[in-house]
């Protein structure tokens, strides 16, 4: 370490007086502050402070351990203030970003346990000190023309853009085709009032963007679009992008060992040749329309949440919303505050979680800490990811000896009690609403939305919650089975997406078989969610059963993309051109996956969510913990494939 030079001192810290530093530290997360300070000073006093994990093992906690003694918290802030004054005054050395070896003792302190080597590597990558921590870099072997190993990426949402960043770092030529006129994928299309991510912003970003300046704890739709534009700008992806270009069919040419991909774009139809295809199509690209008689007869305004018309002013209108999934829950709060009357048509009630600050901007003190305390933001990112980690995932497993109704295990029961307590604080004084809003299924059997004003809305005088079955849509509104007709100006279909279709949206012909035929038995499957027998050189991103049980889509996407690029690298190094996963490996993996899914809350009978396909199989959600997936995807086992 060397003394920090004045030009490396963060502006906010350089301008801060002692009182400001002390005041900002009062808002600090003690787990993050302790780790950052230990990294900065190596003070053994910090390591000696007793951690408080709530009596739980690390895998059972929802956050890293804090400090057991209030006196230690006070001492921690005093030491931190002293260190920050030293940085400000250029008298304290500034540490370099930690190598994997240096990170190990810091992680020991932060997690209060020794992590296995691969798990330690995962958290070091998520720490985000390497500009591209999951990049695959290699020298092209002699005699190999890298242009002959080109990749076509389908989709320019999060996974598609991440693929572009990784392929560029690897030096592999690529093109990204996107059916929409802009990047962003589902976030381009979903612009309804209240649209925002339900994973904390610090966890919903890539490892190579740990310092992106999020405005909200949970980013709103426009923030997310800005983030994706930042991706394309920073990494110069625009020259690789072909917008307004839709894939209509794909055919594998086994003689050429390449894919011929038919596309329709602004200049008409053409066929693109690619050695490899990365299908970053996502789950939420095709809207699901309800089978309700009379939809076409409605004379008012009809729109799906994913096809929201921003030019339409719903203020002062009679609005009906069909659906109480994530989109419907998010929409109701904002619409209820401006509509003349709002009617919510509910088929199945939803558990709603209480997330204080869900709609709030990131507090100024937190921004200051992230910008001015070295590595504090990195540790805060790990804390955020930890919150959707293994402890959360444990609430998904069915305990065969568990007998408490309405839940599937002890962790799931604790979650149910917390959700029920929150519901009672909001609408407990209305027994009629409690009866309508209390789900009969365990938490997490369906997606768990966050409450952004839904409970408040159903208490409003001008809002009706209707649980009677819909008979039909009429020219004037919606009629329920009891004969009541609700007259409407705007009818919103918050009915979600055909999330289990994956590649079924267009014709895909592999080596002697179509994807429709190969998946005809029980829907979409893939080996580790990425590769499919008889469809060589095709890699799915966010594919079947990779909606992870822990962490989030950014991390899982990066792991999948690294796996695909390492497969391509291995082919180059072997002088080969194609990989095709062996059917026996695919079958064995899926048999184990099915065993796991059968023991998870998603499989509770009668309560399928968007993740269940037409065959009754869980097709989107995964059965593996992130640490398991990280290990499986870190380096491809080429004996899993036919290589040619």
Report the pLDDT value the prediction gives residue 7, as an integer from 0 to 100: 59
3 pLDDT higher than 60: no
Report the pLDDT value the prediction gives residue 332, as an integer from 0 to 100: 97
Report the pLDDT value the prediction gives residue 282, as an integer from 0 to 100: 84
Q: Structural domain boundaries of the chain?
A: 2-111+365-390, 146-286+499-637, 295-358+409-493
Report the pLDDT value the prediction gives residue 94, as an integer from 0 to 100: 86
For residue 15, the tally of other CB atoms under 10 A from its CB is 11
- Rounded to the nearest 10 degrees, the angle between the axes of helix 158-170 and helix 221-234 is 20
Report the pLDDT value the prediction gives residue 390, as an integer from 0 to 100: 64
Euclidean distance between CA atoms 122 and 362, whole angstroms: 26
Report the pLDDT value the prediction gives residue 384, as an integer from 0 to 100: 87
Which of 233, 224, 234, 209 is CA-nearest to residue 133? 209
Euclidean distance between CA atoms 60 and 104, whole angstroms: 21
Torsion on CA atoms 341, 344, 350, 355, rounded to nearest 10: -20
Cα 91 to its chain centre, rounded Å, is 42
Is residue 24 within 8 A of residue 368, CB to CB? The reply is: yes
Report the pLDDT value the prediction gives residue 391, as an integer from 0 to 100: 64
Euclidean distance between CA atoms 280 and 546, whole angstroms: 12
Host H or E run for residue 22: helix 18-25
Q: How confident is the model at residue 608 (pLDDT cuts 50, 70, 90)?
A: low
Q: What is the per-residue pLDDT across 351-386, written as a single tens digit (0 to 9) for each?
A: 999 988 899 999 999 999 999 999 999 999 998 888
Q: What is the per-residue pLDDT across 383-439, written as a single tens digit (0 to 9) for each?
A: 888 877 666 778 999 999 999 999 999 999 999 999 999 999 999 999 999 999 999
Identical fold between 146-286+499-637 and 295-358+409-493:
yes
263 pLDDT higher than 50: yes
Q: What is the per-residue pLDDT across 277-326, written as a single tens digit (0 to 9) for each?
A: 999 998 877 888 999 999 999 999 999 999 999 999 999 999 999 999 99
Which of 395, 351, 398 is CA-nearest to residue 597? 398
Is residue 404 within 8 A of residue 566, CB to CB? The reply is: no
146-286+499-637: CATH, from 3.90.650.10, 3.50.50.60, 3.30.160.110, 3.40.50.150: 3.50.50.60
295-358+409-493: CATH, from 3.50.50.60, 3.40.50.10470, 3.40.640.10, 3.30.70.3270: 3.50.50.60
Q: What is the per-residue pLDDT across 152-194, written as a single tens digit (0 to 9) for each?
A: 999 999 999 999 999 999 999 999 999 999 999 999 999 999 9
Euclidean distance between CA atoms 148 and 577, whole angstroms: 9
Q: What is the DSSP string of 87-154?
A: HHTT-SEEPPPPPHHHHHHHHHHHHTSPPPHHHHHHHHHHHT-SSSTT----PPPTT--GGGG-EEEE
Compute the mean pLDDT over every residue in the chain, rounded to the nearest whole number.
93
Q: How confident is the model at residue 607 (pLDDT cuts 50, 70, 90)?
A: low
Q: What is the largest CA-CA distance in the chain?
A: 78
Report the pLDDT value the prediction gives residue 4, as an integer from 0 to 100: 47
Report the pLDDT value the prediction gives residue 66, as an integer from 0 to 100: 79
Report the pLDDT value the prediction gives residue 639, as an integer from 0 to 100: 98
Q: What would the mean pLDDT of 6-29 be, rounded to a whole number?
A: 91
Is residue 312 within 8 A of residue 303, CB to CB? The reply is: yes
State phi, psi for 339 to the nearest 5 degrees.
-75, 150
Q: How big is the chain by its Cα radius of gyration, in Å? A: 26
Which of 497, 197, 190, 493 is CA-nearest to residue 344? 493
Report the pLDDT value the prediction gives residue 54, as an integer from 0 to 100: 46
- Number of helices (H), then strands (E), belonging to the chain: the values are 21, 23
Q: How confident is the model at residue 53 (pLDDT cuts 50, 70, 90)?
A: low
Which of 306, 310, 347, 312 is CA-nearest to residue 327? 306
User: What are 538's strand-pairing partners?
Assistant: 277
Report the pLDDT value the prediction gives residue 587, as an integer from 0 to 100: 98
SS3 403: coil
Sheet arrangement for strand 477-480? 470-473, 477-480, 485-487
553 pLDDT higher than 80: yes
Structure tokens at 373: 């305390």
Query: Percentage of residues in the chain with pLDDT exceeding 70?
Result: 96
Euclidean distance between CA atoms 228 and 242, whole angstroms: 15
For residue 240, the tally of other CB atoms under 10 A from its CB is 19
Report the pLDDT value the prediction gives residue 55, as an integer from 0 to 100: 43
Report the pLDDT value the prediction gives residue 504, as an integer from 0 to 100: 84
Euclidean distance between CA atoms 453 and 463, whole angstroms: 12
Q: What letters, b where the CB count within 10 A reaches 16 and e where it falls short, cover 213-234?
A: ebebbbbbbebbbbbbeebbee
Alpha helices in 249-301 (DSSP H): none
User: What are 579's strand-pairing partners?
Assistant: 643
Report the pLDDT value the prediction gives residue 596, as an integer from 0 to 100: 95
Query: Percentage of residues in the chain with pLDDT exceeding 90?
Result: 82
Q: What would the mean pLDDT of 41-58 be, rounded to a whole number?
A: 77
Report the pLDDT value the prediction gives residue 341, as an integer from 0 to 100: 98
Is residue 290 within 8 A of residue 493, CB to CB? The reply is: yes
56 pLDDT higher than 60: no
Q: The whole model's pTM is what?
A: 0.94
Q: What would the mean pLDDT of 582-588 be, rounded to a whole number?
A: 98
First-residue to last-residue Cα distance in the chain: 50
Euclidean distance between CA atoms 183 and 187, whole angstroms: 9
Which of 40, 38, 15 is CA-nearest to residue 94? 40
1 pLDDT higher than 60: no
């Amino acid at each position: 370490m060397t003394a920090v030079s004045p030009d490396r001192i963060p502006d906010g810290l350089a301008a801060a007086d002692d009182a400001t530093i002390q005041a900002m530290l009062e808002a600090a997360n003690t787990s993050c502050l302790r780790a950052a300070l230990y990294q900065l000073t190596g003070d053994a006093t910090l390591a000696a402070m007793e951690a408080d994990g709530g009596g739980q093992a690390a895998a059972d906690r929802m956050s890293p351990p804090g400090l057991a003694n209030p006196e230690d918290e006070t001492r921690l802030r005093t030491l931190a203030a002293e260190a920050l004054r030293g940085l400000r005054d250029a008298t304290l050395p500034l540490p370099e970003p930690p190598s994997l070896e240096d990170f190990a003792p810091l992680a020991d302190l932060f997690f209060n346990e020794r992590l296995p080597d691969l798990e330690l590597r995962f958290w070091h990558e998520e720490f985000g000190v390497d500009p591209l921590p999951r990049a695959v870099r290699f020298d092209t072997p002699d005699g190999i023309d890298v242009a002959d190993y080109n990749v076509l990426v389908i989709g320019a949402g999060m996974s598609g853009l991440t693929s572009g960043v990784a392929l560029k770092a690897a030096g592999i030529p690529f093109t990204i085709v996107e059916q929409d006129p802009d990047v962003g994928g589902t976030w381009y299309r979903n612009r309804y009032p209240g649209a925002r991510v339900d994973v904390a912003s610090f966890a919903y970003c890539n490892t190579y963007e740990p310092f992106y300046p999020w405005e909200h704890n949970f980013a709103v739709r426009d923030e997310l679009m800005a983030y994706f534009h930042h991706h394309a700008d920073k990494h110069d992806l625009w020259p690789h992008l072909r917008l307004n270009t839709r894939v209509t069919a794909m055919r594998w040419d086994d003689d050429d060992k390449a894919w011929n991909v038919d596309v329709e774009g602004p200049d008409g139809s053409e066929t693109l040749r690619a050695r490899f295809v990365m299908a970053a199509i996502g789950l939420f690209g095709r809207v699901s329309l309800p089978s309700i008689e009379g939809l076409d007869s409605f004379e008012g305004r009809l729109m799906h949440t994913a096809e929201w018309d921003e030019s339409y002013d719903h203020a002062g209108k009679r609005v009906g919303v069909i659906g109480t999934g994530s989109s419907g829950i998010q929409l109701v709060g904002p619409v209820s505050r401006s509509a003349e009357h709002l009617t919510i048509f509910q088929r199945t009630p939803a558990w709603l979680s209480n997330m204080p600050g869900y709609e709030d901007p990131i507090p100024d003190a937190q921004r200051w800490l992230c910008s001015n305390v070295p590595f504090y933001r990195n540790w805060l990112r790990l804390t955020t990811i930890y919150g959707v980690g293994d402890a959360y995932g444990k609430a998904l497993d069915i305990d065969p000896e568990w007998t408490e109704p309405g839940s599937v295990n002890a962790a799931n029961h604790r979650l149910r009690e917390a959700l029920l307590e929150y519901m009672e604080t909001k609408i407990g004084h209305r027994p009629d609403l409690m009866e309508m809003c209390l789900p009969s299924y365990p938490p997490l059997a369906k997606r768990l939305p966050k409450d952004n004003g839904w409970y408040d809305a159903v208490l409003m005088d001008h809002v009706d919650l209707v649980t009677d079955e819909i008979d039909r849509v009429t020219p004037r509104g919606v009629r329920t089975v009891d004969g009541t007709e609700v007259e409407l100006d705007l009818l919103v279909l918050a009915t979600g997406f055909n999330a289990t279709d994956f590649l079924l949206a267009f014709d895909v012909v592999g080596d002697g078989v179509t994807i429709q035929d190969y998946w005809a038995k029980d829907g979409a499957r893939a080996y580790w969610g990425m590769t499919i027998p008889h469809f060589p050189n095709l890699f799915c991103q966010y594919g079947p059963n990779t909606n992870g049980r822990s962490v989030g889509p950014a991390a899982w996407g990066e792991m999948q993309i690294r796996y695909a690029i390492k497969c391509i690298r291995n082919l180059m190094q072997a002088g080969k051109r194609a990989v095709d996963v062996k059917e026996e490996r695919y079958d064995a993996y899926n048999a184990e996956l099915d065993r796991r899914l059968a023991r998870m809350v998603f499989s509770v009978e009668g309560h399928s969510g968007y993740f269940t396909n037409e065959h009754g199989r869980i097709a989107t959600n995964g059965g593996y913990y992130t640490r398991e997936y990280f290990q499986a995807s870190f380096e491809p086992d080429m004996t899993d494939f036919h290589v040619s």
